[in-house]
Each structure stands twice: as structure tokens, then as C-alpha cells.
Amino acid sequence: MEKFCTFTGIVAPLDRANIDTDAIIPKQFLKSIHRSGFGPNLFDEWRYLDHGEPGIDCSNRPLNQGFILNKDPYQQASILLTRENFGCGSSREHAPWALAEFGFKTLIAESFADIFYNNCFKNGILPITFSKDIIQFLFEKAEENTGFTFTVNLEDQILIDSSGNVFEFKLEVYRKNALLNGLDDIGLTLSHENEIIVFEKNHQIMQPWLFTS
């Protein structure tokens, strides 16, 4: 997993609440166990006018021109702004896979579904929560300014908009460190490899009967 670095990105305002994982990546695309190839099918039923299936070339599909991610400059957005309870529904990890492959590095919402929230960190995405009033303010700013941008500084836990406004956000220390160092759950475990080796050696000494064949 890549280390999360400070970046400046375009904010795509998706003004809907309770967006579930089936909307993020529809169920027919779950047939694949690979972690790539889902970006073109992100929000498939909203982005396209036809029915999508795995293996279809999305470059030739009719687009829903009214959907935000089909409009300039939001095809290049790396920050998604939405409402409460984003990522509800099934626990499919394909949802953050699709968001990450499209190019989203940060998600901003009033709240996230718990399992989806955890899955974001495992896939290098930073989910940020703000109060309803701040979310509303950000939507108004995004609507007034096409191509509204944020600089995301995880180290200092702040967002800076293109007008210079600063928004602080809260995040657990271990999640922050994992993103900054590009560590998923396996990477976090392996960062304690030396301690694990020492434990296993002592374990064999203290309880040798567990290791006899």
C-alpha cells in the first residue's frame, strides 16, 4: 500500500445520503477476486445509461451526462464529498477498491458505515467526518466554485480549501500512522516481526510439547 502524502485535489460533491455499497459497486462485479479493474464501474448504475456487466468495455458505454463524475473537471476528482451514512449495506471490500482505482484518496461525510470505514484504511483511503453544518458549508462552497479544491494534510490533520479556510479533523493515532507509513493490517503485523520471532522462540521453549510431530 502506498504511503499517504499531502496532496491537493478536486472535490466532487455527491449530494446524497445513505449511499450503500451496492450503489458504489453493483453486485454483478463481485465475481472477481482481484483488487483491480473496478474503477470504471464505480457508481456504475449512476454513471452509465445501460446495464453494466464484468468484462464490458466501459469506454463505449453511453454516459449519464447529469452525473457529477461525468462532468468536467470531476473526472479528475480525488476527494469525494457526500452526506451521512456513506458506505452502508453489505461489507464488500470491492467498494473502497473501486473508489481508490477511480482516484479518490479522501472521502468527506457526516458519517460512514462502520465496516466500510474500516475497509477504507485497509486500502489507503482517508475517510473524514465533519458535523452536519460543516458538511453543508462545504457543499455550498463546492456548488459556488466549480473545481473547488482541498489540500489534505494528514500529518497535521487539517484540510485547507482554495480560499485558505482551514478545517481540523480527528483521527485515531494508529490509523493515522498506518496511512502515513502505507501499512495495511498485514503490514502493521509485519512491522512487529522481530517481536513475533522472539515470542515464537520463547513459546517453543516454554511449551515444547506443542511443537512435537
CA distance 109 to 117: 11
**What does the pLDDT read at residue 194?**
78
Question: For residue range 80-98, what is the model confidence (pLDDT) as tens digits?
Answer: 999 999 999 998 999 999 9
pTM: 0.88
| pLDDT surpasses 90 at 135 | yes
Res 189 pLDDT > 80: no
Buried b or exposed e, range 7-41, using 16+ CB within 10 angstroms: eebbbbbbeeeebbbbbbbbeebbeeeeeeebbbb
**Average pLDDT value for residue range 47-73:** 95
**What is the residue type of 34?**
H
End-to-end, the C-alpha distance of the chain in Å comes to 38
Which residue blocks in 81-192 are alpha helix, DSSP H? Answer: 94-102, 114-122, 132-144, 173-180, 185-190
Quick one: what percent of the chain has pLDDT higher than 70? 95
Class of domain 7-179: alpha beta
95 with 24: CB under 8 angstroms? Answer: yes
Q: pLDDT tens across 95-119, in order?
A: 999 999 999 999 999 999 999 999 9
Comparison of pLDDT for 201 and 79, the residue scoring more: 79
